[in-house]
Amino acid sequence: MQGRAMRLPFAGGAVPSGAALLVLRLVMGPILAYHGYRTLDAGVGKFVATVDRLGFPFPELLARATIVIELVGGICLAVGLLTRVWGGFVTLQMLLIVAKVKWDVGLFGPPGKGGGFELDLLYAAIAAALLIAGPGLFSLDHAIGLEVDLSAGTSPLRREGPVRAEA
């Protein structure tokens, strides 16, 4: 055993990575969609007032955008449609919440006073992973050709055939 690295019996590669991204989508998407639905159900006006009270500019626009990002974006993330776009929006939204709403409370918040920004940061990290890595397995992005499977030896940067200089 001396001199040999120990190997764990886990497979790596595109399929396990894609499965992991699928799990992230299937957990985060419905949770976000539920939050958006609850906010919509409670009344847009009430949420606009909350956004305004927190001191954000354009509270009407920002409140409605937040609901769309959570409700529509959550559904789209779950099915893997425009995953990188919605991942970007969710990342920005959650980082904005951390920076502008919950930063003073801290990561975990004081005991008995409600939570800190730990879950918002977790949502931002998951959304950033989807933005960077894409939708993973079983996504509409792959089905309609918005994502390219690079494991098949294709590259969006490589041109097939000879390269010729054009005059």
119 belongs to a structural domain: yes
Please state the domain count of the chain: 1
Residues whose CB is less than 8 angstroms from the CB of residue 136 and which lie 6 or more positions away in sequence, other chains included: 17, 18, 19, 20, 21, 22, 24, 25, 80
| Residue 119: both structure tokens together | 């879950």
- The mean pLDDT of 85-93, rounded to a whole number, is 97
Q: Is residue 38 predicted with pLDDT exceeding 70?
A: yes
- Residue listed under structure tokens 């769309």: 68
In the prediction, which pLDDT does 76 show?
A: 98
159 belongs to a structural domain: no
114 belongs to a structural domain: yes
**pLDDT digits 0-9 by tens, 119-128:** 999 999 999 9
152 belongs to a structural domain: no
7 belongs to a structural domain: no
15 pLDDT band, cuts 50/70/90, is confident
61 belongs to a structural domain: yes
| Residue 15: both structure tokens together | 């399929």
For 103-113, letters b (16+ CB in 10 Å) and e give eeeeeeeeeee
- The mean pLDDT of 47-74, rounded to a whole number, is 96
Domain that holds residue 42: 15-135
144 belongs to a structural domain: no
75 pLDDT band, cuts 50/70/90, is very high
* Cα–Cα dist 19/119, whole Å: 23
* Cα–Cα dist 165/64, whole Å: 51
Residues whose CB is less than 8 angstroms from the CB of residue 67 and which lie 6 or more positions away in sequence, other chains included: 36, 39, 40, 44, 47
6 belongs to a structural domain: no
- Measure the N-to-C terminal CA separation of the chain; round to a whole number of Å: 62
* pTM, full prediction: 0.80
